[in-house]
Each structure stands twice: as structure tokens, then as C-alpha cells.
Structure 1
Amino acid sequence: MELHQLQILRELGALGSVTAVAEAMRVTPSAVSQQLAALQRGFRTPLTRKQGRTLVLTAAGEVLATAGADVIDAMAAARSALEDFEHDAAGAVTVSGFHSAGQALFGSLVREVGGAESAPTVHLTDEDVAQSEFPALTAQYDLVLAHRMEHSAPWPSTGIRSLTLVREPLDVAVAASHPLASRRSLSPTDVAGERWVTSRIGYSPDDVLRAIAAVTNRPVQVQHRINDYGAVAAVVAAGRVIGMLPRYTSRTIDDDEIVRLPLRGVNTLRSVDVLARPENLRRSSVQVVIEALQRVMARLTTADPATP
């Protein structure tokens, strides 16, 4: 039993297929299958089974994967001890962010990290995925910026750690010429009959619209489904639909032609979190980047006039 075999077993449980594991670990599916077969030879109890055309973990495989995660974490702790001994905080750190977080944070993050005495080398990527798909990205990146509606299921606790950067409301956005623009806040009843531009299904704004429909017992009228908040703001400014925008992470958008209004009566809060594998959080370079993200987000929220 070798460490990389335990890593493959853990990733199979987390990602759900040999192909996904191969992509995440940048090896061939054949190499993944060979390592799983080699690991299986050390145990009488089957660790995997076929489910249709997909290979999944058995109950025994899940037990070993969980125990293996502790072994991987322990090995990472040993490496971290050596890194701390050498005071090396200048390692490479890969960061993935959803689009609005990237637009709001990435530029300031680069400047913030660059000002550190021993600056890590940061590699940035944008990943626009549905909420349920963020945890799997931790197999590819050291840090994953993710969003989660507060009323939804928490992030997985096995093999993943989460740190909240901010609790961010989603505000209703209307054109400055819209009759609702003069209001200080809105209720679900105020907006239920409007036509909307919202996100694709599985993303935060669509979750809020479904809550509006449930509270008012009326179907909402979705005219457009757009994930990019800059495009959403432009469509709202045209005056024919209303939409929803995150309060902090879409503030780079020009607001001259739109008005943002709090929505009362449904929970519009989402949590903007950093997700990571536990072993990555032990690295000094990763901690430097997390601390920089916290400072950047704190400045962003403090600068917002709508922040309580």
C-alpha cells in the first residue's frame, strides 16, 4: 500500500469516476486503474465495484479512503514541519475563483501578495461551476473560492476544510428609471410579477427566485438566464427586466444606470468561502494567500456603502 494509491482511492470516492480522477491528477485512466488494482492486491475485501459503467467505492473502500486521508494529512504535516523549519513561504499556490469573485478579488490579491516579504507565486484560474461542483475542484487547486446559499447543505466535511470570507447578500437590481427604484427595500410580493434576468439553474440567483416563487405561490417569469453579472447589469439597465446582483463581489460593475435594493422576506445570503484540502492548509505559502484574501475581502466590504 503506497501513499499515491491512497490518494487515488480518496479521489475516486470524491470525484466518482476513474476518468475524473485521471483528469484531476493529470494521469491516464489506465494508470489510475493499474494503481487501484495494485492496492486491491493487498486486501481480501473488495475496495471497488462496478455501478453501471462506472467504478465506485464499496463500503470497505470508503473506510480505507477515510483512513487514507488521515495518512495523507499526516504526511503533509511532516512536509509542512520541514517547510516551517526552513521558513519558506514563497512556494507556488494555485487559486480557483468563480467569475464575480475573480473580477472583484484577483487584481487586489496579486498586489497584496506581491507586497509580502517572501511572496508566494500565485497561479489564478476562473471556474464558473454550480454550487455542488465546487468541492471537486479542490483536487485540482490549492484554494477554491466558492459560494453557497446559507439555507443549502453545508460543504462536505470529509477531506475538505472551508473558511468563510464573507456573508454576502444578493440584492435586487432594477434600472434607475424603474418604478421600484425609489424604494428603500423590496418584498417578494413587490417583485413576483416582474420579468427577470437570472442565472442558470444551480447558481445563487436562481435559488433566490425559487424562494420568491415559493413564498408568493406564484411562478416567476424568467426572460433571460445569464451567469455573468456584468451582462446581467447591462440587461437590467435596459429597463425591461429586473435581476439580482451580489452586494460586494459585483461592485466593479458600473452602477450609474441601475439601483440595488435589499430584498426582505426571503434569505438572500450566500457565503463566499475558501475550500481546500487539509494538507494544503499546512503550507506557509497557502496561509499567506489566505490571509491576503481575507484582507482584500475586508477592504471590499468596508468600502461598500450598503454594508451594515
Structure 2
Amino acid sequence: MDPHLLRTFVAVTRLASFSAAARELGYTQSAVSQHIAALESDLGLPLLTRRPVAPTRAGARLLEHAVPLLLRLDAARAELGRMAAAPAGEVTVAASPLAVGPRLLAALPATARVTLRVQPRDAIPAALATGAADLGLVDGLAAPSDPLHLPDTAPLTATPVAEVPLAVHLPAGHPLAHRPGLRLGDLTAARWLDAPAAGLPLDRLRAAHGTYGFRPALRYDGTDLRTLTALAAAGRGLTLLPVTVPPDADALAVPLVEPRLVHRVELLHGGEAAGPAAELAALLTAPDH
């Protein structure tokens, strides 16, 4: 299959419009229609309905393969581009908000130009695959020593960086605030902050506990941790964070004692890191750092 045709198909499907895809890709609408027709002819199946524009069953299945395949092609181009370019003393790090901690800040090289991009955790593998970042730092809930489950967007190497316990942030006047520890099972009916970018997504809590509880009281789409802890202190909902995140002045952080979960941070990179990226990777993953 021609990757140019696949890119057109993915754009049309995502935008649900031939004309919008043409504008985004810089093609004429006629060219986009020809691309889709050529792809359907090659595969011998209709891939899109036209009114409305939506994937057929075959198109939906193709989309599942096309998105990671195109990312892998982008990853190959980005890696070869890095091999062709001489190290310029620069490194770009894409990190999820909860992965930006003391360990990363202490390891940042003083002699290189560093660009730190704080992004939602799900966007980081794609940033590495497309060459937008040299290194990635992702975080998530895990059992002790268990690896994180990452999307299969590109061939990436994952190395553990840190594991720390978790704590529930709640207002100082909350009935549970002065307990020595909390069990996740006791909090399924509580109202929570839904902060998928800044905090730990509620669907991960549901998966860890095997329940449909953890109702969201408020959704926060930002990445600023201080705003998230301030919302918890104001009583807008509970949030679960690593113990390295200090609570707001009007809140307390009570350790999570059951189940046995940790906040895990992993370093991601595609291919072989070089120059400042390799130095930073070595510092981040050194056991005695």
C-alpha cells in the first residue's frame, strides 16, 4: 500500500470530510477523491461511505493498522535524520506533567541547549516517533517493578527511571484527612477530579480496582499540578498523586496503602541516543543518581 494514500485516508477519516482533508494536506479535493478511490481499488473493498463521510467496517479495520504504521514510517525517517545530522549540543525532552520531578531537573545538562515540552502522556510516543523529541518521559500507575503499558506506535526502548508511593490529596477538613493511610476500595464512591493530562486518569483507577466507581466531580484539562492540588484543597474532588507532589497549603496528602501500587516513570527513546540526549539518558537511568 502506498503510504501517501494511507495518509490521505487517515486524514479524511479523522476530519470526516474530503474537502477538509484536502485543505490540511495541500491537495485538491479531486486529488483526495482519487487517492481514496485508488486505495479502495488496490484493496478491493469500500473503505468510506460518502454521505456522511465515515469508515466502513473494512475502513475501520484499516485505520487500526494505518495509524501505527504511518507513525513507524515517521519514526524511521526521524531516526535516519538524526543519524545523518551531526550532534549540535541540543536535546528535546517530551515529558508528562507527573514525570517532571527532581530527578529530571537535577539531570538536565548545563552545557547543552535543552527544550522541555510538557505534554499529555499519550502524546509522547508519537512525539518520539515523528522526531519532535529526542527523549520522552512517561508516567503511570503500576504494581511495583511492573512496566507501564504503552501504545504500540513505534519501536521505542523503555527504561525505568523511578518508582514512588502514592497519596490521596483531600481538604484538611475532610473526614478521611487524618487517617494514617487509605484504601482505594474505600474511595470508589467519592467524587474525584478528572485530570487526565495533569494527574492519573480515572480509568486507570477503575482498572486498578476493577470497578466502575470513581465518579468525576470536575474535569480539569490543564497540565499545571498546582492548579490540580488547589482544586483538591478547595474540595472540588479527590486526586491521587505521587508522594513527591506536595499538597496545597489547605490540603493533606494521605498515603495509599491498598492496593500495592506505585507511580512509575519510564524513559523512552527510539534508536540509539547520541550526544546530549545520551548523556541525559545515562543520568536519568543511573541506579545511584
Relative to the length of structure 1, the TM-score reads 0.59
Q: 1:226 to 1:104 in 2, by over 3 A?
A: farther
* Superposition map of 1:69-218 within 5 A: 72=76, 76=80, 80=83, 90-102=88-100, 107-109=105-107, 112-114=108-110, 119=112, 121-128=113-120, 131=122, 133-138=123-128, 139-142=130-133, 143-150=135-142, 154-156=149-151, 159-163=154-158, 164-200=160-196, 204-211=200-207, 214=210
Quickly say closer, same or farther: Cα 1:9–1:260, change in 2 above 3 A: farther
In structure 1, the partner of 2:278 is 287
| Partner Cα distance (1:202, 1:258) in 2 | 18
Q: Cα distance, 1:89 vs. partner?
A: 5.5
2:262 aligned to which of 269, 277, 292: 269
1:287 shift after superposition: 0.7
Any idea what SS the aligned residue of 2:182 has?
coil
| Alpha-carbon distance in structure 1 between the residues aligned to 2:230 and 2:117 | 25
Equivalent position amino acid for 2:259 in 1: V
Q: In the aligned structure 2, how far is the partner of 1:19 from the partner of 1:103? A: 38
Q: CA deviation at 1:96?
A: 1.4
Change (3 A) 1:50 1:194: closer
Query: Structure 1: how far apart are the matches of 2:285 and 2:253?
Result: 25
1:77-97: per-residue Cα shift (whole Å, max 9, x none)?
9x75x88xxxx7653222212
The residue type paired with residue 188 of structure 2 is A
* Structure 2 residues not aligned, in runs of 5+: 15-23, 35-41
Inter-CA distance 161–212: structure 2 relative to 1 (3 Å threshold)? closer
Q: Please report how far the alpha carbon of residue 273 of structure 1 lies from its aligned counterpart in structure 2 after TM superposition.
A: 2.1
Q: 1:236 to 1:190 in 2, by over 3 A?
A: same
Residue of structure 1 in register with 2:21 after alignment: none
Contact 1:204 1:270 in 2 (8 A): no
Question: What secondary structure, in the 3-state scheme, does the structure 1 residue paired with 2:256 have?
Answer: coil
Determine if contact 2:165/2:262 at 8 Å carries over to the other structure.
yes
CA contact (8 A) 2:103 2:284 kept: yes
Q: Where is the helix percentage greater, Structure 1 or Structure 2?
A: 1
Count of residue correspondences? 257
| SS, match of residue 258 in structure 2 | coil
Task: Tell me the equivalent position of 1:302.
Answer: none
Alpha-carbon shift at residue 157 of structure 1 (Å): 5.5
- Cα separation, 2, equivalents of 1:235 and 1:93: 34
**Distance in 2 of aligned mates of 1:264 and 1:197:** 20
Instruction: Assess if the C-alpha contact under 8 Å between 1:198 and 1:226 holds in 2.
Output: yes
Pick closer, same or farther for the CA change 1:222–1:294 going to 2, 3 Å.
Answer: same
Q: Which residue of 2 aligns with 1:42?
A: none
2:125 maps to a residue whose letter is P
Deviation, 1:182, is 2.6
AA aligned opposite 2:281: I
Q: Cα–Cα, structure 1 residues 213 and 16, in superposed 2: closer, same or farther, change >3 Å? A: same
**TM-score (norm. length: structure 2):** 0.62
Secondary structure (helix, strand or coil) at the match of 1:113 reads coil
Once residues 201 and 167 of structure 2 are traced to their aligned partners in structure 1, the CA distance between those partners, rounded to angstroms, is 9
Deviates more, 1:267-276 or 1:144-153: 144-153
How far, CA to CA, are the matches of 2:62 and 2:217 in structure 1?
45
